[in-house]
Amino acid sequence: MSKAFTKESDGPEDDDGDGPSLPALPAGSRNYLTPAGYARLRAEFMELLDGERPRIVEIVSWAAKNGDRSENGDYLYGKKRLREIDRRLRFLTKRLDIAEVVDPSVHHGSEQVFFGATVTYANARGDEKTIRIIGIDEADSLAGEVSWVSPIARTLLKARVGDELNLVTPVGVEKIEVVEVQYPAPAGG
């Protein structure tokens, strides 16, 4: 069969582009994001849509005019990259459509844990750890950021400084105590 009539695909067509690294949102929930997280996702969307995609389309168009497409690296790579970009754009569109921007600074001065809090907690041995609770699409565990759906965040949410909590871990239940809760200061104040 001619290559012109075969489907080029690297995976499932309905793949959202979120891959295995991003967990799914709980059913029916909003995609909570900090203002900075929303701005990053929106900037990525606009760069892909207005920047990278038009550049790749131009390259593919140029490469297509060069004849035999089956051995044309620019054409083949370009088509593959366009699929990746389109998959990511679909994913970002879905996530931005259900985004709910939550400004953590509204809780500035509070000792209760809500979305956007930077929380320091201690385990029974006295080891302290500090995390920041933010959205699924913006959390970076290497930077001490966890998503609001993570087990530690779910345990800490709505707790107050001094509260002792039971954190369920793969090796059993660990007692932790909330030591400190911080929020960013409101803008302009």
CATH no. for residue 39? Answer: 1.10.287.180
Under 8 Å between Cβ of 159 and 172? no
pLDDT at 15: 46
Q: Which helix (H) or strand (E) holds 177?
A: strand 172-182
| More confidently predicted of 20 and 57 | 57
Of the candidates 11, 37, 30, the residue with the CA atom closest to the CA atom of residue 143: 37
| Mean predicted lDDT score pLDDT of the chain | 86
Q: What is the pLDDT of residues 9-19, one digit of tens each?
A: 444 444 444 44
Q: Which of 45, 67, 101 is the last residue of a domain?
A: 101
Q: Which helix (H) or strand (E) holds 153?
A: helix 151-156
Q: Check pLDDT > 90 for residue 160.
A: yes
Domain check: are 145 and 172 in the same one? yes
Q: What percent of the chain lies above the pLDDT cut of 90?
A: 70
